Amino acid sequence: MTDPLETPAAPSGAAAVFGERMPIATAFVAILADTGVSHGLIGPREVPRLWDRHVLNCAVIEDAFPSGARVIDVGSGAGLPGLALAITRSDLDVHLVEPMLRRTKWLSETVAALHLDNVTVHRGRAEEFAGVLSAPWATARAVARLDKLARWCVPLLADRGTLVAMKFEMSLLESKLDTQPAQARERARNVGRMVDDAIATVGRVTRELRPGILKDFGLAAAIESQGEDFAQRTGITCNILCTDHDLDPDYDTALAFFRIFQEALTNVSKHARGTQVDVRLMQEGDEAVLEITDDGCGIGAADLLKPRSFGLRGIRERMSSLGGTLELSPVAPHGTRLVLRAPLRPGHPEDPQNTTRSTPA
C-alpha cells in the first residue's frame, strides 16, 4: 500500500470562502489526497491543485443557491461539487447521485468522517431517479457532452429548476491570464462558445424532456406527436389509439407516462429491432392506462428478473411514486407489451397542465 501524498496547504483565500467550517474543508482535502487518490477518484498529479482547481473551484458557486435549497449533484465521484457545497453551506440539503458502488461507499464514508448531516448519498444512474428524486437545483462537473449531461440532470429538476454545470476550462483560463495572454484570449473565446452551446443544448433537451405540447394540449396529443416524429425519424410504424382525448391526468403522471413512452420507443429502435409499435392510451375505471406493444425480439423471463434490465428499476420506482404499476410481458410470436397504470388524480392549481388548453389543429 502506497503512502498518502502530502496534503497541500490551503491558500490564503480559502478561509474567506469556508469561514468557520474551514477545518472541515481542510479535512476533506486531506481525505481526497489520501483515499481519494488510492480509490482512483483523484489523479496523483492533481493533489497539488486540490484546493484551487477542485475544492475552491466548486465551493465558490455557493452564492448561486438560495437559503435552504435542495441540491442534487449528479455523477458526484469525488464529491465535487456536492461535498464542497455542503461544507461551505450547512443550510443546503445536498443529494449525491453516483452509479458506482466503490464511489458511493467512499462518499458515504467521507460524509460520516466529516460529520455532514446535510448530505444524502444515492447509488444509481441519474436517469433511474427521474420521477423519484427531484430538486429545484442540480449540479454537475461537465465531464460528459452537454447534451448527455442535460439528459441526466433535467429529469431530476423540479418545474422551473436550474442546472449548474461546471467546466475545467474556466480554471485553465484563469491560469493563463498573466503569463500567456494570447492563449487566454483564445480560451476566453472557447468559453464563450461553450456557454452558447450549453444554452442551446440544455434548451433543446429541456423541450424534449418537458415538451410544451404536453402542457398546452395534453397527454394524448403529446404521445401522438412523439409517435409521428418517431415514425418519420426511424421508419418504424407507430400506430396510436387514444380512446379518450379528454383523459386529463395530473402533470406528474402525464410527464411520467410521456417520459416512459419516449424510453420505450428508444428501446424499440436501438435494442428490440422492431418494425411496428402499437400504442393505446385509455381510461379504465379510475386509472389512466398506457399500453405499448412492439414486434421486436422480445424480452425473456430471465431478463424480467434483472432489476436494471432496460431501465426497469427506474420505471418501476417512477410508477410506484405515483401510486401506479408497471406490467411487462412477452407477446406471441415475438415482441414485448408494456402497460402503465396510474390513478387519476386532480391536478393542483400550480400544475402546468392545470390551465386552459388549446385544441391542436
Domains (ranges, CATH) in the chain?
14-209 (3.40.50.150), 212-343 (3.30.565.10)
Closest C-alpha among 114, 105, 106, 108 to residue 86:
114
The whole-number pLDDT of residue 290 equals: 96
As given in the structure block, the three cell numbers for residue 203 are 434548451
Question: Which phi-psi region, left, alpha or beta, contains residue 19 (left: φ > 0; alpha: ψ -120 to 50)?
Answer: left
Helix (H) or strand (E) holding 300: none
Do the Cβ atoms of 55 and 28 come closer than 8 Å? yes
**What is the CB neighbour count within 10 angstroms for residue 329?**
14
- Looking up cell 444554452 gives 199
Do the Cβ atoms of 314 and 130 come closer than 8 Å? yes
The whole-number pLDDT of residue 24 equals: 97
For the chain, 361 residues long, the average pLDDT of each consecutive 10-residue run is 72 89 96 93 91 88 88 89 95 94 95 96 87 86 67 78 61 49 57 55 54 78 88 90 82 89 85 89 94 87 56 80 91 91 73 49 46
Do the Cβ atoms of 65 and 71 come closer than 8 Å? yes
**What is the CB neighbour count within 10 angstroms for residue 183?**
14
Task: Give the C-alpha separation, 304 to 312, whole Å.
Answer: 9
